[in-house]
A = this chain, B = another copy of it.
Amino acid sequence: MIGGLIGGLSGDAAGNGGGAVSPGPTPAALAPTRRFGDRLAGVFAVQGRLCVGIDPHAFLLADWDLPDTAAGAESFGRTVVAAAAGSVGIVKPQIAFFERFGSRGYVALERVLHDAREAGLLVIADVKRGDLGTSVDAYGAGWLGAGSPLEVDAITVSAYMGLGSLDGLIDLAERSGKGLFVLAATSNPEAAEIQRAIVARGPHAGHSVARTILHQVAEHNTAAAASASIGSIGSIGVVLGATLNLGDFGINTSDVAARGLTPVLAPGFGHQGGNISNLVGLYGGYSKSVIVSESRSVLRAGPARLAESIVRRVAEVGAVRG
């Protein structure tokens, strides 16, 4: 409770845009805050691990007979939320497809996020933000701050400037019941050059960049679990693509000590070719905390058959033992 209270208030104190939108502590800030990892575990237990993307591509808007405008993106997003509500627990809007319309796109996004909150969906905003100091704190206030118009449950982040550059975000997330997913190993071939590069000095010397980020996040989650004396999933996760051989990145998925109950956001199943039935083969000891993130493979069903498509996919994913 205290953590939630402090989290909410300090979120505002940190220059949270929400302070401007609704002055003073918001109801959210005064409500008890459950850890993101605990809320994720709750979703896994009830609705399962499927996460449906909200990706209003120009071509998907065309397929859905929607205009390639902010209004089209809003209609698309609210339709996905309505179809997801009740049958799936997690949605992941790709913010680039709203941001391309500027402020109108953000108005559309805020309406989609409002619907998702009302529906009780866990929202992971795919923003891949990353910066330093007061700038990264400002991103945190905007996306994780209690009462902010863009408030979501978790965001994806990029750590090219080092995981330490995101400490302010990590603290804010833990204080306010929010989550982060740090890019670690991604599926695109060009990523190998950086993500498989070898750290030259420090405690992770000799290991790949991707493994270093994974282990740093896992260490954080292990420490957080110890201090909270709970054994749930951690609130800070990583992104590990589903079409990869993680061994190529020097990641040993059977390394129990390194797991730290770390949640894994896994894009690449479905459309991109990752095979859900191979979940344990791909993620080993991490597979129990994998979020299966799918967009086109579900969205291509179109608005009329989307709900049916989601229900079917929830069942297929639910049948897989993690």
Asked if residues B193 and A194 are in contact (CB atoms below 8 Å), the reply is no
Contact pick for A19, options B68, B148, B164, B199, CB 8 Å:
B68
- Decide yes or no whether A219 CB sits under 8 A from chain B: no
Binds B, one of A27-35, A182-190, A274-282, A309-317: A182-190
CA of A315 to CA of B94, assembled, Å:
44
Contact pick for A150, options B55, B102, B191, CB 8 Å:
B102
Asked if residues B195 and A198 are in contact (CB atoms below 8 Å), the reply is no
Known: A94-B135, A136-B96, A191-B165. A69 touches B129 (CB 8 A): no
Interface residue ranges of A117-167 to B (CB < 8 Å): 126, 128-136, 138-139, 141-142, 145, 148-150, 158-165
Known: A17-B102, A142-B101, A186-B132. A160 touches B194 (CB 8 A): yes
| A-side interface residues, number (CB < 8 Å) | 76
- Decide yes or no whether A86 CB sits under 8 A from chain B: no
Known: A160-B159, A164-B188. A100 touches B15 (CB 8 A): yes
Asked if residues B202 and A200 are in contact (CB atoms below 8 Å), the reply is no
- Decide yes or no whether A64 CB sits under 8 A from chain B: no
Asked if residues A183 and B161 are in contact (CB atoms below 8 Å), the reply is yes
User: A130 to chain B: which residues have CB within 8 Å?
Assistant: 128, 130, 158, 160
Asked if residues B202 and A193 are in contact (CB atoms below 8 Å), the reply is yes
Asked if residues B199 and A200 are in contact (CB atoms below 8 Å), the reply is no
Interface residue ranges of A215-230 to B (CB < 8 Å): none
Known: A164-B190, A165-B190. A20 touches B196 (CB 8 A): no
Asked if residues B16 and A159 are in contact (CB atoms below 8 Å), the reply is no
Instruction: Output the least CB separation between A16 and chain B (Å).
Output: 7
Known: A96-B138, A131-B128, A160-B183. A148 touches B17 (CB 8 A): no
User: A100 to chain B: which residues have CB within 8 Å?
Assistant: 15-17, 138-139, 141-142, 145, 148
Please name 23 pairs of A and B residues whose Cβ atoms are closer than 8 Å in the assembled complex, sorted by A. Answer: A15-B57, A15-B59, A15-B68, A17-B105, A20-B101, A96-B136, A96-B138, A100-B138, A101-B149, A102-B106, A103-B103, A126-B135, A128-B129, A160-B195, A161-B183, A162-B192, A193-B202, A194-B209, A194-B212, A196-B201, A197-B198, A198-B198, A198-B200
Given contacts A97-B138, A128-B130, 16 further A-B contacts (CB under 8 A): A17-B100, A20-B104, A57-B138, A94-B138, A96-B139, A100-B145, A102-B150, A106-B106, A130-B158, A130-B160, A159-B160, A161-B186, A161-B190, A161-B191, A162-B194, A163-B190
Chain A residues with a Cβ under 8 A of chain B:
14-17, 19-21, 55, 57-59, 67-70, 94, 96-97, 99-107, 109-110, 126, 128-136, 138-139, 141-142, 145, 148-150, 158-165, 183, 186, 188-202, 204, 208-209, 212
Q: Which 10 A-B pairs have the closest CB atoms?
A: A164-B190, A15-B58, A162-B190, A102-B149, A103-B106, A100-B142, A20-B69, A197-B197, A96-B138, A17-B101
